[in-house]
Chains A and B, each alone.
Chain A
Amino acid sequence: MAFLEITGLSKSFKDHKVINDLSIGIEKGEFLAVFGPSGCGKTVFLRLIAGMMPADSGEIDIDGQSVVDANPEDRDIGMAFQNYALYPHMTAFDNIASPLRSRHVTAAEVDARVKETARMLRIDHVLDHLPKALSQGQKQRTALARSLVGRPSVVLLDDPLRNVDAKIRYEMRFELPRVLRRYESTVIYVTQDYKEAMALGDRVAVLVDGAFGQAAAPHEIYDSPSTIRIARLFGDPPINLLPVRPITGAAGTEMSVAGSTVRLPADRAALSGRECMFGIRSENVVVSLEPNNGIPMTLDAITPVNNRLVMLLGGNEGTELFASCPQGGPMDRLRGRHNAWITLDLAHAHFFDNGNGARI
Chain B
Amino acid sequence: MSTLYLDNVSKVYDGAPDRAVDSLSMHIEDGEIVALLGSSGCGKTTSLRMVAGLESITDGEIRVGNRVVNALRPAQRNVAMAFETYALYPPLRVRENIAFGLLRDRVPSGEIEKRVKQIAAMLEITDLLDRYPPSISGGAQQRVSLARALIRNAAVHLLDEPMSQLEPQLRALLRARIKDYIIAHKMTTVVVTHDQTEAIALADRIAVMEKGLLQQFATPHDLQDRPANLFVASFIGEPPMNLFPAVVQDGGIAVLNDRQEVAFHMSVAVSGASGKLGDGKRIVVGVRPHRIGLAPGERAEGTNLVGEVTSNHWLGDQCQVGFQVRGCHVIAVGGRDVHAPMGSQVPVAISGEAVRIFDAESGVAIDQGPEPAASLVA
Contacts and interface: CB of A to CB of B under 8 A. Distances in A.
A305 B197 contact: yes
Contacts, number: 115
A34 to B, nearest CB: 17
Given A174-B329, A174-B331, A303 B179 contact: yes
B234 A167 contact: yes
Given A238-B172, A312-B173, A305 B315 contact: no
Contacts of A324: 317
Interface in A282-314: 282-283, 300-308, 310-312
A303 B317 contact: no
Interface in A190-206: 195, 198-200
A198 B169 contact: no
Nearest to A38: B168
B300 interface: no
A281 B318 CA distance: 13
Contact of B180 (A195, A312, A322): A312
A69 interface: no
A322 B290 CA distance: 23
Considering residues B177, B183, B313, which has the most beta carbons from chain A within 10 angstroms of its beta carbon?
B313
A199 B169 contact: no
Contacts of B342: 177
A255 to B, nearest CB: 23
Contact of B201 (A173, A305, A333): A305
Contact of B172 (A37, A234, A237, A336): A237
Interface string A206-219: 00000000000011
A200 B314 CA distance: 9
B179 A166 contact: no
Nearest to B175: A303
A308 B238 CA distance: 11
Interface string A153-167: 000000000000111
Contact of B238 (A306, A335, A336, A337): A306
Nearest to A332: B221
Nearest to A234: B316
A326 interface: yes
B310 A305 contact: no
A121 B138 CA distance: 38
Contacts of B196: 166
A304 B315 contact: no
B65 interface: no
B202 A173 contact: no
Contacts of A84: none
A40 to B, nearest CB: 13
Contacts of B39: 165
B270 to A, nearest CB: 26
B377 A310 contact: no
Contacts of A64: none
B310 A310 contact: no
Contacts of B168: 37
Interface in A169-184: 170, 173-174, 177-178
B331 to A, nearest CB: 6
A222 B315 CA distance: 9
Contacts of B176: 300-301, 303, 310-312, 322
22 contacts: A170-B238, A174-B322, A177-B311, A177-B342, A178-B311, A219-B316, A235-B317, A237-B173, A238-B172, A300-B176, A301-B180, A303-B172, A303-B201, A305-B201, A307-B224, A307-B318, A312-B176, A320-B173, A322-B176, A326-B335, A333-B376, A337-B184
Given A281-B317, A312-B177, A333-B376, 7 more contacts: A165-B39, A174-B329, A178-B310, A238-B172, A300-B177, A303-B201, A308-B317
Question: Lowest 7 A-B CB distances belong to which pairs?
Answer: A199-B313, A237-B172, A312-B176, A303-B201, A174-B322, A301-B180, A170-B239
